[in-house]
Amino acid sequence: MSDIPADAPLDFEAAYATLEESVRRLESGTLNLDEAMTEYERGVALSSRCSQLLEAAEQRVSQIVVGGPQPIPGDPGE
Amino acid sequence: MSALTVTQLSAHIKGLLDQDALLRDVWVEGEASNCKEAVSGHWYFTLKDPGASLSCVMWKGQAALQSHLPEDGRAFQMHGVVSAYPAQGKYQLMVDQIEPLGQGDLHREFERIKAKLDAEGLFDPARKRRLPPYPRRIGLVTSPGAAALQDVLKVLGRRWPVAELFLAPTLVQGDAAPLQIVAALQAIGRAGVDVVLLIRGGGSLEDLWAFNDERVARAIVDCPVPVVSGVGHEIDFSIADFVADLRAPTPSAAAELATPDAWELRQRVDGLRALLDRQLGDRLSLAADGLDALRHRLDRCAPERGLAERRRGLAELGARLERAVQGDLRLRRSGAAGLAQRLASLSPQAVLTRGYAHVQRLRDGRTVASTKDVGAAEGLTITVADGRIAAVTTGQARLF
């Protein structure tokens, strides 16, 4: 879990849901110490991943090419 | 000839006007001029066309209800009541509704399209798609130069900067706008975004008219991803708003509704991390306590403790043994006295006392028991009952 590549698809929803599940399992008290340590490590990796996914990136706007009539220069807009 | 007074004539004219059904409920079309808002709040202006002009007034109360106010040089359709004012010798239109020219037609057209699309079920709430909770790619359909786009970019940058943004530029008003908006929606639908924001800043019904176009409405319906409309101000409702998957009151609100708040999510992730740490901390404490308990039990069984006990045991045994030996010794001492006497009579001392001597070689202390043990002039040590004598052999002879 700690070796998720940085360019992996942003699936924040899945990562967050799995993180919640890790916490629930630890809270359940049904894990032995070994299992608890493993679950903890998994949870930490997930929380780091989630934080990483939320990092502010520089805002870029890609302009896509629209088929059909082109906008007239100096259009009134609003 | 009987003459009327001015007052009587004026009253007659006023009466005629007041009785006329048309004049009590009339729509007039013309160009406004000499528009003035008095200190009182009432508006005074003239409606005219090439053939005539009409004096108008709009009371303050009516003016407050209008979405448009009189403007010099602009064409309007106005509704009101015509009445005469004898004192000034004039008649006047008291206006209660102002529409820029063509507005009435637009309203009717709006209602027509709305009814038609509603009948087709395009406004059905069940049709509306759920927005993705964490959109990775957001499409924007709007004019690239407009303030509305800047507002939206600001909101997106603040709330959900992780999303990739794609802009499909288009005109947002004028006759060419509807087809461009349709093309833009089709292009953005193919671009692989998770959600589309269709936005335009505020304006009049005419300004926003492109978003009431039937073709635009159908393009929104056909878009493969959910569309959020943010057109005009809070009070403006366009056909696009009715068919969109979600209507936002403004462009900025569209950006807010389409995205989660990254700051809030960060708080939640940090919270979960804290829970993880606390859980593990508790588990480790528990384990440590258990370990301590076991260690105590182990200590109690440790060999060091056993050794001390054994030492104690041994010391005790030693004491007992001594006591026993002491006791035994007393017993033996009495028997020993007789033995000592017998021993004494057999000792070398007793022999010496009878006259015998112990002879030893000086050189190595060896007892001389035979003539063979000494040579010529051998040094001797003779021990008698009360001392020693040094001697030297002078000769020897064997006898036995």
Q: Which two tokens stand for residue A8?
A: 């992996």
pTM: 0.55
Given a cut of 90, is residue B200 above it in pLDDT?
Answer: yes
Q: Which helix (H) or strand (E) holds B352?
A: helix B348-353
Verify whether the Cβ–Cβ distance B145 to A68 is below 8 Å: no
pLDDT, average across residues B29-58: 93
Listed residue (B175, B118, B274) closest to A75, CA to CA = B175
Q: B10 or B330, which is more confident? A: B10
Q: B181 or B301, which is more confident? A: B181
Among A47-51, B150-154, B283-287, name the one with the lowest average pLDDT. Answer: B283-287
Verify whether the Cβ–Cβ distance A57 to B183 is below 8 Å: no
| Type of residue numbered B19 | Q
Q: How far is A71 from B355, CA to CA, in rounded Å? A: 158
pLDDT of residue B102: 64
Given a cut of 90, is residue B345 above it in pLDDT?
Answer: no
A47–chain B Cβ distance below 8 A for any pair: yes
- Under 8 Å CB pairs connecting chains A and B tally to 139
Who contacts B377 (Cβ-Cβ below 8 Å, separation ≥6)?
Answer: B392, B393, B394
Verify whether the Cβ–Cβ distance A75 to B283 is below 8 Å: no
List of chain B residues whose C-beta atoms are within 8 Å of the C-beta of residue A50? 265, 269
Q: B334 or B276, which is more confident? A: B276
Chain A nearest CA to B74, separation (Å):
20
- Of all residues in chain B, the percent with pLDDT exceeding 70 is 91
Residue B137: CB atoms within 10 A of its CB come to: 17
Who contacts A71 (Cβ-Cβ below 8 Å, separation ≥6)?
Answer: B143, B144, B169, B170, B171, B180
Given a cut of 70, is residue B329 above it in pLDDT?
Answer: no
Q: Which helix (H) or strand (E) holds B303?
A: helix B303-345
Who contacts B234 (Cβ-Cβ below 8 Å, separation ≥6)?
Answer: B249, B250
All CATH 2.40.50.140 domain ranges in chain B, comma separated: 6-101
pLDDT of residue B379: 93
All CATH 3.40.50.2300 domain ranges in chain B, comma separated: 106-125+134-263
Verify whether the Cβ–Cβ distance B276 to A23 is below 8 Å: yes
Per domain, the residue ranges of chain A are 12-53
Q: Highest mean pLDDT range out of B158-162, B184-188, B262-266, B369-373?
A: B184-188
Confidence of residue B13 (pLDDT cuts 50, 70, 90): very high
Verify whether the Cβ–Cβ distance B147 to A68 is below 8 Å: no
Listed residue (B179, B163, B161, B162) closest to B171, CA to CA = B179
CATH number of B6-101: 2.40.50.140
β-pair type (B227-231, B195-200)? parallel
Verify whether the Cβ–Cβ distance A54 to B275 is below 8 Å: no
Q: Which of B191, B266, B287 sits opposite A51 (nearest CB)?
A: B266
Beta strands in B150-302 (DSSP E): 164-169, 195-200, 227-231, 246-248
Residue B47, SS3 per DSSP: strand
Verify whether the Cβ–Cβ distance B276 to A26 is below 8 Å: yes
Q: Which of B161, B171, B269 sits opposite A51 (nearest CB)?
A: B269
Q: In this predicted model, what pLDDT tens digit does every residue of B119-142 receive, in sequence order?
A: 999 999 999 999 999 999 999 999
Chain B nearest CA to A13, separation (Å):
7
Q: Which two tokens stand for residue B250?
A: 């403004």
Q: How far is CA A7 from CA A3, B194, B380, in A?
A: 11, 18, 116
pLDDT of residue B144: 94
pLDDT of residue A73: 45
List of chain B residues whose C-beta atoms are within 8 Å of the C-beta of residue A47? 269-270, 272-273, 276
Q: Which two tokens stand for residue B207?
A: 């300004």
Listed residue (B228, B265, B192) closest to A9, CA to CA = B192
| Type of residue numbered B321 | L
Q: Highest mean pLDDT range out of A28-32, B73-77, B235-239?
A: B235-239
A32–chain B Cβ distance below 8 A for any pair: no
**Could you report the predicted ipTM of this complex, rounded to two decimals?**
0.71
HEC string of A2-70 equals CCCCCCCCCCHHHHHHHHHHHHHHHHHCCCCHHHHHHHHHHHHHHHHHHHHHCCCCCCCEEECCCCCCC
A57–chain B Cβ distance below 8 A for any pair: yes
Among B194-203, B263-272, B328-337, name the one with the lowest average pLDDT. Answer: B328-337
One of 3.40.50.2300, 3.40.50.1110, 3.30.590.10, 3.40.47.10 is the CATH number of B106-125+134-263, namely 3.40.50.2300
